[in-house]
Structure 1
Amino acid sequence: MQFPKINIPKKHLKIGAWVLGIFLVILVILGSIAYSKREALLKKMIAKAIAKADHDYGLEVKIGKARFTGLSTVSLSSISVVPKERDTLSTISEMSVGVKLLPLIFGNVKLSELKLDKGKLNVVVRDSITNLDFILKRKKKDTVTKNKVDLSQIAENLLNEVLYKIPDNMEVKNLLFQLNDNDTAQLKFLTTVATIDDGDLKSTILVNDKQATWHVNGKVKPGKKQMDVLFFADKQKVQLPYLNNKIHAVLSFDTVRTQLKDAAYSGDDFKISGSWSVRNLLINHKRIASNDIIVPTARVDADILVGSNYLALDSSSTVYLNKAEVHPYLKYTLTKDKVYEVKMRTGEQDAQAILDGFPQGLFESLEGLKVSGKVKYDLDFYMDTAIPDSVKFSSTLKPIGFKILKWGKTDLQKINSTFVYTPYEYGKPMRDITIGPTNPNFTPLGDISSNFKNALLTSEDPSFFSHKGFVEESIRKSIAVNFKKKKFVRGGSTISMQLVKNVFLSRQKTLARKAEEILIVWLIENNRLISKQRMLEVYFNIIEMGRNVYGIGEASRYYFGKTPAELNVGEGIFLANIVPNPKIALFKFNGDGSLKEYLHPYFRYMGNIMARRGLTQADTTGYGFYNVRLREGLRQYLLPDTISVDTTAFDSDEPVMPAVNTQDASKSLFDRIFGGGKKDTTNNQAIKPADTVKTRKQLRQERREQKKREKELEKAKKANGGEPG
């Protein structure tokens, strides 16, 4: 291809050359003037910056000397920064800063050189006041005038600001960071030396006066938006004792590696690609686990997308735990009402690799477990906070040729024969209970009245015989209810989950224990280790049904002086009603042993459901409500009839974890009872008569009376050999 020849008259070329020449001469002249006046300009700029710091942030900034030591390098000495009415924030003895000229023309300040000697950054916390408060005040002021913002632009600008401040060449000596938190916790980090030479980063940091020596080494290429940095300690783990002092958490690791591979726009989204890895990470916190959790090796290859109003971890990201791989997707949309979205995919993977990928110490009872075959896990969660009732939840762990080859620390089939169960109260063992024929209170499933069995299954887990450990819809509704209440008020536990929690696991309420509970339930249900009938039989014989009352055998004799086979409909409904909160069972009776009237609507409600299912005869009088009578020996310990106790109040601080579903998502009877429809039956308070509503003062008084009565009851039980009456 030939381009047409353009003929430019010599006259025009001469004019253009003269214009360019004149422009260059003007630049030289202006540059010379600026160079000759640069010291004065520097002083003016510093004065302006000091005034702005004082006006906008309330900072008193002092600079002893400031001068140019090169074409674009400024040397400063005796610098101090003091927030008004606060402790000194920073002091620097000597510092020189060089900037790149070409980016400066376009308004970008990129550092080419940084040298610092003898600096100090001092953060002081006194009560709720710090000498960093000025940052928060500035942010609050800024948000008043801000309109709608584009998160992708903010992310790009913020990343650029950080990278631009990383110089091509750096030499820092004796820079001290010090934190004083109310004189109870102190931290000192002394950077004896930190250098960047042609992208090579090396540093030595002394922690708390030579208690440890840390290093941050690697490669940094801010111009290309790339870095590869390794964080480690000399001859020991990196430890953060400050966390233990503040939040009672232990955290340590051998090395942490951080990589930034690229950061650029991908369509309308700003995309940040990188990875983060850790070796021998140790975590210990009472809410996570009761023991050390150790992650030998873990890595995340992440693609982070920042859109105009959302932040997401793209599904192309991968989490590696030993040989196991997980592909997560997280999205947080910032609108008037926030939207959360979570997805997780593993694909078909070796089951043993997945098991070995879990952190050490996470599942104590399963340590040493050997399996074969493959598994595949899929999780989908979506919540628009504007309509929490429409939350979507799906969690499925699919076995493919899965088999258990060897038991771990715990034999999950131990309850198929006689075993000893030890209930705990407030972390302390109560007594050993033999679950088997040698215990006179043990009741085989066939010897338990159907009135009790049907009532408990209806209220606790109607689909027990059809599900495989989890009811997905129940968990979904629990998430919605708990979100709206802003606290845990409703759980999604099935009888299978309650059984595993009580028999196989410790009573400590931790995330690790909840996760272990879910996995054990899946192992038992999907491998048919225990029959449904045996699971229900054991459950009926271990559930707490009063103060130091465990199992249906003890409960039926304790409250009614009957065997479990003799329970009528009303007694069955009552005993099922007390399972969620058994310690207040006695306070549901009047002084003459009859039930308090506020329970009557509950009996009609539950009885009607049982009647519709063909589990009992229709009854217009209240399904045995008036036939329930507490045995006479216990009536002397009841509260006066004038005292009303809220027996439906039941809070739990159980951690919420995703569960696993392996059955169809059809709506169960449980959900028709406690969710959906015209009535909100999630909380039994919905069926209490209006005249039972109490003021806060009345409720406090009732609780005091209740506690007083409980103490008297306990004393009476001890005086009578552990049995009232």
Structure 2
Amino acid sequence: MNKKQQLKKGIIVAAGVLLLVLVTLFATRNLIIQNYANKRLLSFEQKYSLRIHYNDLRMEGLNGLHIEGLSVIPLNCDTFLKAGSIEVQFDFARLLLLKADVKTVTMHGLQVDFIKKDSINSNFDFIFKANDRAPKILNKDSEDVKQNESAHFGENIRQTFNLLFSVLPSNGYLHDFKVSYQAPGYRLFIDVPQLKIDKDRFKTEIRAEENGMISNLISEGVLSKADRDIEARLYSKDTSKVSLPFLHYRWGADLKFDTLAFEVRESKAHSDVRLLTGKASVSGLTLFHYRISPEIVLLDNANFTYSMKVGDNYVEVDSSSQVHFNALNLNPYLRVEKDTSWKVKVSVNKPEFPSEELFASLPKGLFSNLEGIKTSGKLSYHFLMDVDFGNVDSLKFQSSLTSHQFRILSFGNTNLAKMNEPFVYTAYEDGNPVRSFITGPENPNFRPLTAISPLLQMAVMQSEDGAFFYHNGFLPDAIREALIHDIKVKKFARGGSTISMQLIKNVFLSRNKNIARKLEEALIVWLIEGGRLTSKERMFEVYMNIIEWGPMVYGAQEASRFYFNKDASDLTANEAIFLASIVPKPKRVKWSFKDNMQLNPVLDSYFRLLGERLVIKGVITEEDAAKIKPEITISGPAKDFLFSGANATDSVPAPEEAETLDVFPDM
């Protein structure tokens, strides 16, 4: 037998063996897939404390998989998932390479139920506990690990999209798909009668029922594996707005819209950096949450076109990205980096633009005082915040709105120049009006600055805002220091407020603490200070006549009578410094005293500091300052309030809490 015949014979034998192997694999494929599935499912059950069961698992042809009667049940809990039947067809060529790439999926009777029995027990806890079960091989607290570990953001994005597009089919059919969330006092049911994906495109109707309220929605979009692109739109089947469920139950928020849409495309930028590009938009948005605004916020049209780079340890939104809402366009820059600590940098630079673009774009319900305002001229804006959470003291903060031939043509809902004349001031407590009075000569307790002791004026100014007459309403360094402090204590403890900001908050805004109030406060301060709508002298005069100094005590004259039974022009240095000390926290005035009607010794450093400031400002001499100490005599009606009934030290904060006085730099 020559070599040619031997080769031919060898090929025939090899082909026969291969055919025998394929026949054997085909004949035993169900046994093989069941054994493999059972091992993986057993590992999954043990890892997540689940019981996973199926009635039938078999191969259909060479590249099909059929599952029937699938259920996932957490131990000692209600069923989490069940499905009547699932049929999956894989790409045969990819399957030969041992890579699962789904071509088509057909599902019948898929149901997922999130059931929360109480604040502790639910049937979906295993989802959040998964990471806790991961093996701890390295000591995460060691410096070597901290310096070398990486967040792997880019790789995680790549793997997520690979998994997503390997699972999502180009063609599929979903029949009778249901999702529910059930908790004490809350029921949410989402029903998708049928969902058909045809050549990467889908469109389906969704029925949502939340505590008996029914919504009929439509979702449509594209799932393109070739372009690694996902697009989706959600809108109501009728003319009503879409109300996002669960938000009110979980966070007390109500969010409605006409249409919500997004698009994201994933690609490789360079090396291991991934690029996400796309667009998100919403129309007819209404939002309510008491932390944002006491009124419903309306936003007619908003969209975000973005270009986002995701590297190994950072996420960066390029400044070519654009935020558009109503008539205003902004190009934000954002970088979040995870090195030995988290670092965040945010910046916005908006060159000259027509001022009306800003004021016409303010969302209704968020700036109620400014609704309807008309302006001319141009504005420019610069914002920067750069913080390294491993070195918070290095925080950088800049924010400036600059005017260019800017003028207010007419006020909106509120006359921003009303402080120039006597007006009715309303005091609020816990967001509710408690007292109203005139800030002008008609009020017998009103005092012009000339009738208020210079000692009190300077003590208050040096305590609250020593640079009041020199700034334009804001002290960026004070805001920066407040941000640093708030980050360190992990709560909003300081605000960096100037006297201007405190005044505008009291005169024009309710006392509800929310995001909208702070934004509107800043904008009104800028308009009044920048446009010189009210002089600094008049602003300080109003401030001294309306600030709270105790229980229903407002203004310098009422405070002088309440504590010392004398006129505001006759105060001593000690009395003036005492009154200045209670301005930041008038509700806690009792803390200022210990037993026997004596001032708390912790105020000694405060009195010395204010005494030094009064000397520098030329209000008192050094000899006078040497006599300043926390010693006063309460002779007015406050005596009964402070020292009768409840102990004066009731509800007293810790001493360090009293020392968080915002003493601003003198200029």
TM-score, with length taken from structure 2: 0.90
Trace 1:194-593 onto structure 2 (pairs within 5 A).
194-208=195-209, 211-235=214-238, 236-585=240-589, 588-589=592-593
What's 1:611 paired with? 615
Gap regions ≥5 residues in structure 1: 1-11, 653-667, 674-725
Deviation at 1:268, TM superposition (A): 3.6
**Paired residue secondary structure (1:498):** helix
C-alpha spacing 1:212/1:395, structure 2 compared with 1 (3 Å) = same
Deviation at 1:241, TM superposition (A): 4.1
What's 2:126 paired with? 134
CA distance in 1: counterparts of 2:67 and 2:583, whole angstroms: 73
Q: Which sits farther off after the overlay, 634-643 or 339-348?
A: 634-643
C-alpha spacing 1:671/1:86, structure 2 compared with 1 (3 Å) = farther
Deviation at 1:179, TM superposition (A): 1.3
C-alpha spacing 1:245/1:151, structure 2 compared with 1 (3 Å) = closer
CA distance in 2: counterparts of 1:20 and 1:565, whole angstroms: 114
Trace 1:7-18 onto structure 2 (pairs within 5 A).
none
Q: Which amino acid aligns with 1:556?
A: S
**Paired residue secondary structure (2:496):** coil
Q: Does 1:190 align with 2:181?
A: no
What's 1:176 paired with? 178
CA distance in 2: counterparts of 1:647 and 1:132, whole angstroms: 42
**Paired residue secondary structure (1:244):** helix
Q: Which amino acid aligns with 1:87?
A: D
Q: Which amino acid aligns with 2:468?
A: F
Deviation at 1:23, TM superposition (A): 8.1
Contact 2:565 2:636 in 1 (8 A): no
Q: Which sits farther off after the overlay, 626-635 or 507-516?
A: 626-635
Q: Which amino acid aligns with 1:227?
A: I
Deviation at 1:346, TM superposition (A): 2.4
Q: Which sits farther off after the overlay, 140-149 or 282-291?
A: 140-149
CA distance in 1: counterparts of 2:98 and 2:316, whole angstroms: 31
Q: Which amino acid aligns with 1:144?
A: K
CA distance in 2: counterparts of 1:256 and 1:88, whole angstroms: 32
CA distance in 2: counterparts of 1:217 and 1:124, whole angstroms: 28
Deviation at 1:27, TM superposition (A): 5.8
CA distance in 1: counterparts of 2:164 and 2:249, whole angstroms: 30
Q: Which sits farther off after the overlay, 199-208 or 168-177?
A: 199-208
Query: Identity, % of aligned pairs?
Result: 31
C-alpha spacing 1:213/1:18, structure 2 compared with 1 (3 Å) = farther
Query: Residues 416-451 of structure 1, C-alpha deviation per residue, up to 9 Å, x if partnerless?
Result: 001111112233322221111111111112222211
Deviation at 1:478, TM superposition (A): 0.5
Deviation at 1:574, TM superposition (A): 1.4
What's 2:59 paired with? 68
Q: Which sits farther off after the overlay, 91-100 or 21-30?
A: 21-30
Contact 2:599 2:631 in 1 (8 A): no
Contact 1:62 1:81 in 2 (8 A): yes
C-alpha spacing 1:26/1:364, structure 2 compared with 1 (3 Å) = farther
CA distance in 1: counterparts of 2:587 and 2:602, whole angstroms: 18
CA RMSD of aligned residues (A): 3.0
Deviation at 1:204, TM superposition (A): 1.6
CA distance in 2: counterparts of 1:512 and 1:25, whole angstroms: 78
What's 1:679 paired with? none
Deviation at 1:604, TM superposition (A): 1.2
CA distance in 2: counterparts of 1:567 and 1:395, whole angstroms: 40
CA distance in 2: counterparts of 1:304 and 1:431, whole angstroms: 52
CA distance in 1: counterparts of 2:535 and 2:56, whole angstroms: 83
Q: Which amino acid aligns with 1:540?
A: M
CA distance in 1: counterparts of 2:576 and 2:389, whole angstroms: 40
**Paired residue secondary structure (2:435):** coil
C-alpha spacing 1:609/1:106, structure 2 compared with 1 (3 Å) = farther
C-alpha spacing 1:295/1:450, structure 2 compared with 1 (3 Å) = same
**Paired residue secondary structure (1:614):** coil
C-alpha spacing 1:503/1:74, structure 2 compared with 1 (3 Å) = same
CA distance in 2: counterparts of 1:20 and 1:351, whole angstroms: 82
TM-score, with length taken from structure 1: 0.83
What's 1:155 paired with? 157
C-alpha spacing 1:414/1:272, structure 2 compared with 1 (3 Å) = same
Query: Residues 633-662 of structure 1, C-alpha deviation per residue, up to 9 Å, x if partnerless?
Result: 54355438996555867699xxxxxxxxxx
Contact 2:286 2:296 in 1 (8 A): yes
Q: Which amino acid aligns with 1:237?
A: K
2:664 equivalent among 643, 646, 670 = 670
**Paired residue secondary structure (1:290):** strand
C-alpha spacing 1:257/1:215, structure 2 compared with 1 (3 Å) = same
CA distance in 2: counterparts of 1:124 and 1:243, whole angstroms: 17
C-alpha spacing 1:15/1:313, structure 2 compared with 1 (3 Å) = farther
**Paired residue secondary structure (1:228):** strand
**Paired residue secondary structure (1:432):** strand
What's 1:85 paired with? 76
CA distance in 2: counterparts of 1:55 and 1:415, whole angstroms: 71
C-alpha spacing 1:18/1:195, structure 2 compared with 1 (3 Å) = farther
Contact 2:467 2:665 in 1 (8 A): no
CA distance in 2: counterparts of 1:189 and 1:364, whole angstroms: 37
Q: Which sits farther off after the overlay, 630-639 or 445-454?
A: 630-639
Query: Residues 383-417 of structure 1, C-alpha deviation per residue, up to 9 Å, x if partnerless?
Result: 11222122111111111221111110000001100
Aligned residues: 647
Deviation at 1:528, TM superposition (A): 1.0
